Structure 1
């Protein structure tokens, strides 16, 4: 009995233990948390990534249609220039490219350029007088070029010393000659290339003559890879590669924050500016004015706007403040309102000349002027001889902010009863074909290459209003002549292109003053005091604002600044350095 009792007690104890194991969870296992290893990205101190808004071509820096931050940057880094802009805005001779450049004769006015004997393109061909001649011949004759007035004074380019010396003769004295022959192009490649002047530079550069060369342009991926030009005869760059990488505003800010981009050059709206400011001290922000003013042109070569009363009516319908606000997006350009027709707000000597009331919509005045011009308002539209008034607006649809502004202007005109149609065309087509299509004009007489009626006519030859970039970075007197001067025969007697300028404007009464400023016979301020009031009275152009970028510099980079006036930060790229991330 005693043994049985002991067995029962032992069985009960085992069951109790088993019951306890079943009803209660086992004690937790204690172990050290797993170690997470985050690989650090190796820093390549020889490569720099620059975020940009767009890398879209073309890349000829001499074309108005190509006036973008990236195209100007490529010109600075890849192409040779006789002069560069100093920190004070004055031209400085590039001693790496040139031995000398000086006026050597007064009659005929002659400038002699002596090129360094070792200066060569990346394919080994020497940089020579033929490159000067190639640029001159195209700048004086091709449509849609930037500041051609000085080149049109040249009568010849002759070579000496195996092409290392170029003697350039002018029909008249030209004080602005130092603004010529920048961004030289390789004549030996381009003169026989398919597409020539424009086509060969639509997607890449065929040869380099600067501190960097282009290794690859991938527009689909939005990336341009520049590498140190090993054939460059000057001082070697600190960086081996610079990558220009396209991204949207939010991605650009994010790439700066993560240091995937070490630098960014962008045109931000107000929301992007707030996001950039939130990055704090990790990024330094600098506003960089561009050598471009956005403007509205009322083209008196167009049949409909040959009537000065009608141009005045269109002026009275435009809400300039709204165009500036929308076009600038609240970014840095908003503070660079362009209230002068020739000088940009950031330039020395800039002085507003815009008359009171211009750019403030006044529909009562519109009604008065259109009635005076013979129009009758019927069912909200202005009609003359049974045909509704309809204007054609041209703007480059491949560049911001012009196409957006065209849509806003269309709405403003239609609010005043003026019909408007937008011509959908690229910048190359607009400046190369559409705007030059009309012939010469005076303030009272206009002819066109093909007639167009009030209802629209041939859109190729009848753009009435254009929203376009006006390049302002060159010699100001040359800018005046290129933007508003008449264009007749060239000094060698050859016939010039029919269109005087993108505005199609020519006033024989103003032309002597414009030419006097160009040749130095009259000071620019004196010339502007005469020309600008007359231009405002002709209602030929309404400037809006100067474009500007924001330079965002990360802490890894040294040597970066906003650059010389109207040139930008890439002028200093050969000396940029990147620190190694620890």
Structure 2
């Protein structure tokens, strides 16, 4: 119903943020393809939580090497453009041996070698804001032979999800001593690449990323000479598709813009491309006002998820990808709704739960012992959709008497605070400690790894007990053994999720909203474009894209 209503609206005048275009030349350059996107905002490190975006995923697919890549059904397949082989070669200790092709090298001619594996492992386990870190924490040692082309990785425990490791390798020889280190890696440029394309220009002010065929690529070259990612608003993208300035779009289109594309002649087919992330509200249990489960449950009861989804998707494809589970995303095999009936929008439950926690409703809001319940909602400055949802969260909380205000720090600062990266005495982002945050929760890769990375504990160190190793601030020693058993294969993921999903809902630290997605629109003169493997997207097949004169 939402989609039909929005699609029937009269489009607003197209007045803002039109794309960078030029008159279509008489002779079409069939070696170039222009892709309309909603944003090119950086950074671009595919291992940083703060850098998740369509462009980051696209660049990782096109310019960075990976040991395994998802096949058409999502199952990891060895990338034989990089690897000769990869297999478990010992079980005591659990060891995987990787053999890298002798001709695989970075664009500066340095070989892709064991040091790239070591660099990625060490940086991910030392980082507080890395994606899918749980698998890397199981590694105890990495050794090399044959000039670094044979890599042996030793694990502390069996790890059935080992094929999810070492995706998007980074050039260690350039980054390990670079200014800014890991935190600054790929924030504004790619110092070296090792894929079918190389980054020619990355201009966030102009809103354009230019990729050109990598002449040093050792495998079959891509069909196109150049791919240009060009930023525009929805109206600008529709106009550029209709005029032929853009030949393809992968953008967050709302229902109105989708309707406009449907009227383009000749027809421009559209598909939904699900992203490897779920827009989620984090409710931090380590914040002074939210340490009690009943208060967190009251906050969630105050929120109308249907309305939050509507605001976030604007009737776009995310409407059909509402997420009603804590771990798996709707586009993943095995997904099923696990949300209990008790986790529903209920202003009456807000009154009951806050009253049970000792709060009293006054003319100005909820107070306890003279202190108001006053929450700060964070959203990344670079993510417009997250900001819209954050403002709606604050509005809904205010409607039931819970004071709330929104802050929008840069993504890296927000995720640093959520991940516990701030040191004692350091000022929090925007001068505020964030109680709630609208974030993109990664869901790609091995399911047991996703579970342990998003909700698990970091191992105990230096005599200290286990601590949260996730942006939700959650560490439950009673649940961790179940996560560990799933991670090491001692328990099936299905059984682990059956046990853990109800506990995560009851803990009230995460409110999933919807799987983020884009609309893929392709003009008829372009061939070879598909929506791509699950959660990877169309750029996985970009080396085969072709453009006719049209």
* TM-score normalised by length of structure 1: 0.88
Cα distance per residue 1:521-561 (max 9 Å; x no partner): 11111001110111111111110000111111111111111
1:295 to 280, 286, 309: 280
Task: Show the counterpart of 1:153.
Answer: 138
1:426 to 410, 415, 420: 410
Q: CA deviation at 1:357?
A: 4.4
Task: Show the counterpart of 2:457.
Answer: 486
Q: CA deviation at 1:61?
A: 0.7
- Give secondary structure in 2 for the equivalent of 1:549: strand
Task: Show the counterpart of 1:320.
Answer: 305
| 1:547 has 2:516 as partner | yes
Contact 1:487 1:496 in 2 (8 A): no
2:477 to 475, 495, 508: 508
Cα distance change of structure 1 residues 72 and 554 upon mapping to structure 2, 3 Å threshold: same
Cα distance change of structure 1 residues 58 and 495 upon mapping to structure 2, 3 Å threshold: farther
Contact 2:456 2:468 in 1 (8 A): no
| 1:333 has 2:304 as partner | no
Structure 1 stretches of 4+ with a deviation exceeding 6 A read 457-461, 493-497
> How far apart are the structure 1 equivalents of 2:382 and 2:160?
36
- Give secondary structure in 2 for the equivalent of 1:396: coil
Task: Show the counterpart of 1:579.
Answer: 548
Task: Show the counterpart of 2:105.
Answer: 120
1:385 to 332, 348, 369: 369
Task: Show the counterpart of 1:524.
Answer: 493
CA RMSD of aligned residues (A): 2.1
How do 1:434-513 and structure 2 match up within 5 A? 434-437=418-421, 462-489=433-460, 499-513=468-482
| 1:399 has 2:399 as partner | no
| 1:561 has 2:530 as partner | yes
> How far apart are the structure 1 equivalents of 2:492 and 2:265?
46
Q: CA deviation at 1:437?
A: 4.9
Q: CA deviation at 1:460?
A: 6.3
| 1:171 has 2:156 as partner | yes
Cα distance change of structure 1 residues 323 and 119 upon mapping to structure 2, 3 Å threshold: same
Cα distance per residue 1:20-47 (max 9 Å; x no partner): xxxxxxxxxxxxxxxxxx9952111111
Cα distance change of structure 1 residues 388 and 203 upon mapping to structure 2, 3 Å threshold: same
Q: CA deviation at 1:280?
A: 4.6
Q: Which moved more, 1:430-439 or 1:251-260?
A: 430-439
Contact 1:438 1:504 in 2 (8 A): no
Cα distance change of structure 1 residues 384 and 495 upon mapping to structure 2, 3 Å threshold: closer
Task: Show the counterpart of 2:28.
Answer: 43
Task: Show the counterpart of 1:271.
Answer: 256
Cα distance change of structure 1 residues 495 and 550 upon mapping to structure 2, 3 Å threshold: farther
- Give secondary structure in 1 for the equivalent of 2:520: strand
* TM-score normalised by length of structure 2: 0.93
Cα distance change of structure 1 residues 64 and 269 upon mapping to structure 2, 3 Å threshold: same
Q: Max radius of gyration: which structure?
A: 1
Q: How many residues align?
A: 528
How do 1:128-207 and structure 2 match up within 5 A? 128-207=113-192
Contact 1:438 1:498 in 2 (8 A): no
Contact 2:285 2:474 in 1 (8 A): yes
Q: CA deviation at 1:200?
A: 3.1
1:365 to 332, 349, 357: 349
- Give secondary structure in 1 for the equivalent of 2:451: helix
> How far apart are the structure 2 equivalents of 1:207 and 1:496?
40
Q: CA deviation at 1:474?
A: 1.1
Task: Show the counterpart of 2:14.
Answer: none
Cα distance change of structure 1 residues 522 and 511 upon mapping to structure 2, 3 Å threshold: same
Q: CA deviation at 1:494?
A: 10
2:359 to 372, 375, 381: 375
Q: CA deviation at 1:278?
A: 1.1
- Give secondary structure in 1 for the equivalent of 2:198: strand
- Give secondary structure in 2 for the equivalent of 1:149: helix
Cα distance per residue 1:261-303 (max 9 Å; x no partner): 1111111111111111111543111111111100111111112
> How far apart are the structure 2 equivalents of 1:552 and 1:264?
5
Cα distance per residue 1:139-186 (max 9 Å; x no partner): 111121111100011111111111111111111000000000000000
- Give secondary structure in 2 for the equivalent of 1:518: helix
